[in-house]
Chain A
Amino acid sequence: MSKQTITILQLYPRDMNIYGDYGNALVLLRRLEWYGYTPRLIAYNPGDEFPSDVDIIIGGGGQDSGQGKIQADLLSIGSRLKKLADADVPMLMICGLYQLFGKFFKTSTDEIIEGIGLLDIETYGKSERLIGNIILESEQFGLLYGYENHSGQTYLGKKVKPLGSVRMGAGNNTADTFEGARYRNVIGSYLHGSLLPKNPQIADFLIETAVVKKYGEFSNDVIDDSFAMRARRTAARRPR
């Protein structure tokens, strides 16, 4: 029997791939292999043809220059991404693309950078950078460990839920205690680290959702996550 294929689309790896975002792609690829599937990674950069068959979509952070380069293209594929999100395709957007999946980013000089509005969130550029180790508690995923580094502060609207609440660190902003956003199977977050290696429960959520959606059932082999568990224990003890 030929192996079942799962296609991961990585948005804008050329311009939006800072702080180890590749780690998230690698974790999905390897875990899919270890579970016995054939993963396929497609890089989508501005001007590329948007593939028709996509099972998981991931995207990372970038610098201001990177965001400028991809914004117009992102707006042009926004309606397609929204349709996929409403069809329950799992997605993980970190930092810069988390912000641009929202309604807008208002810079500290009051310039408005329009987002695709897939997530009901608004982001405001501030002079203060929120930097350091961060720990969240998520209803669905338990404790999450990562590293944040952002000057945009994000506020959640009514149509999204937070990914978790902050135990240590700043999270979305300096006013409330939320971090990240959830809409259907879309996860937005500021967590680098990379996020998925030390939080394999999120990787498995993305994988299981995609596999069940495509093939009806998920055959779950056991992966040895003991290094991840030990790395989480270290992360829990490190200073901000």
Chain B
Amino acid sequence: MSTRYVTILGKAVRAAMRLRGGGSALPGLVVERIDPNFIKATLATLPRGVVIISGTNGKTTTTKMVVELLESQGLKVFTNRTGSNFTRGVAAALLGEVNFAGKLDADIAVLELDEAHAVHFVRTIPPRHSLILNVMRDQLDRFGEIDATAELLRTITTATSDTVVLNREDGRIAGLQNTLVTQRVSFFGLSDDLLTTFPSDDQLHGGSSRLATAKADVTLKKFVDQTATFHMDGHDITTQLKLNGIYNVYNAAAALALVRAILGESINQTALIARLAHITPAFGRGETFIIDGKSLELILVKNPSGFRLGLQSFNPSGYATMIAINDNYADGRDMSWLWDVTFESLQDEGVEQVSGIRAYDMALRLQYDEVPLSDVTTNLTKGFKQFMSDNPKKPKRIYCTYTAMLKIRRQIGKIIDVESIG
């Protein structure tokens, strides 16, 4: 079948799925089955090639930042914005953007890819640049072990043709530079002061982490009250940010380093920083809604390090806190990770509501950290409504796993207008 017909067919499936509501990857699957070369042929036409962002934590927010920063430099960027970060998710996203002749109107593609799927992807489509954020104990029930996951990430870096951007503070990621021969390597990093607030996976488990002493292209020096200081080109650059949570801000350093690698000398620094100041978090990554005059923050938690960083980043004082834990496939079925997070920071304020399929695993976890707990229910819809009605006068914060977040977002959507996540 010609690309033209495959494209039309895929677009038709996509339109049909939209009418039915949801299902971001299925049209991609249809096209992938009929024409496995669809993605390759379409992306090959881009003048500035393909950029891949991978790692355990922060892919979605970082990808969003890179896209917006590149747009501030006048580039037209294609991305897999829906967060459906598998090959067919990319195909599905492409179908939304190409014209009926199968041509993509963009300068560059910036894609977030899951470690395991990225390996297959780079075999067909080697990226020009890649950014590897971190490797932590995430969906180990899917991939096996953390060292094996780091090896998957290595495959992405060795398939890269131009620049590989690495996290200097994560020993397993910084170590990926050792097998890179022809590629340029650039690092993003933290000042020594901030390093202590960013436990890597090994540090969480009593080991040491920073192995690399390499100079970082972009260093995050300071982050206080939504104001961040980055060090690059020998200067400190301080800017206000709309991002919540220090881990999002560290991802901004990663995004800056990647954009600097892509654009080189031609970068417009003023426009870059101006845009950075206006970037908002991706959905569920510290998003804030206003409901009845009070704020409601959603913090996505997927793994122990992310949960720890979230708890460290957001002061519970004065807030009503809810935790929603599901164990659907996309969340990971193994509940062990909750025991690698410490919840003692919630002891004073307590937790108002615990909900989700594994609500009682979470309640049990809080019991062993002696955190007071008001209400527990496995019925998430009921739990969310209860949480909202019990705490009308307080700002609220919900820590939630992926599928719990989607469900809570739907509930919020019934109260206020929530941007569609595709």
Contacts and interface: CB of A to CB of B under 8 A. Distances in A.
A226 to B, nearest CB: 9
Contacts of A13: 205-206
Contact of A22 (B147, B333, B340, B358): B340
Interface in A13-38: 13-15, 17-23, 26-27, 30
A147 interface: yes
A63 interface: yes
A3 interface: no
Contact of B137 (A15, A19, A224): A19
Contacts of B358: 231, 234
Interface residues of A, number: 40
A60 to B, nearest CB: 10
A196 to B, nearest CB: 9
A20 B364 contact: no
B337 interface: yes
A198 interface: yes
A193 interface: yes
B141 A63 contact: no
A194 B336 contact: yes
B339 A20 contact: yes
B140 interface: yes
Nearest to A12: B206
B360 A234 contact: yes
Contacts of B369: 26
A27 B334 CA distance: 18
Interface residues of B, number: 34
Contact of A63 (B146, B304, B365, B368): B146
A159 interface: no
Interface in B160-203: none
A64 interface: yes
Contact of A193 (B205, B335, B378): B335
Nearest to B340: A20
A231 B365 CA distance: 10
A211 B134 CA distance: 44
Interface in B6-43: none
A238 interface: yes
B234 to A, nearest CB: 38
A112 interface: no
A65 B147 contact: yes
A6 B329 CA distance: 40
Contact of A234 (B205, B357, B370): B357
Contacts of A14: 205-207
B368 A43 contact: no
A132 B141 contact: yes
Contact of A147 (B145, B207, B333): B333
B336 A228 contact: no
B317 interface: no
B58 to A, nearest CB: 22
A26 B342 CA distance: 10
A14 B204 CA distance: 9
Contacts of B338: 20, 23
B256 interface: no
A131 B357 CA distance: 20
With most chain A CB atoms within 10 A of its CB, the pick from B304, B335, B364, B376 is B335
Nearest to A33: B370
Closest 7 pairs between A and B when the two form their complex, measured CB to CB: A23-B339, A20-B336, A20-B339, A231-B360, A230-B360, A19-B336, A14-B206
Interface of A: 13-15, 17-23, 26-27, 30, 43, 45, 63-65, 129, 131-133, 147, 149, 151, 192-194, 197-198, 224, 227-228, 230-231, 233-235, 238-239
15 contacts: A14-B205, A14-B207, A18-B205, A23-B365, A63-B145, A129-B144, A149-B141, A192-B334, A192-B336, A193-B336, A197-B339, A198-B364, A230-B363, A231-B361, A238-B327
Interface of B: 137, 140-141, 144-147, 205-207, 304, 327, 333-340, 357-361, 363-365, 367-370, 376, 378
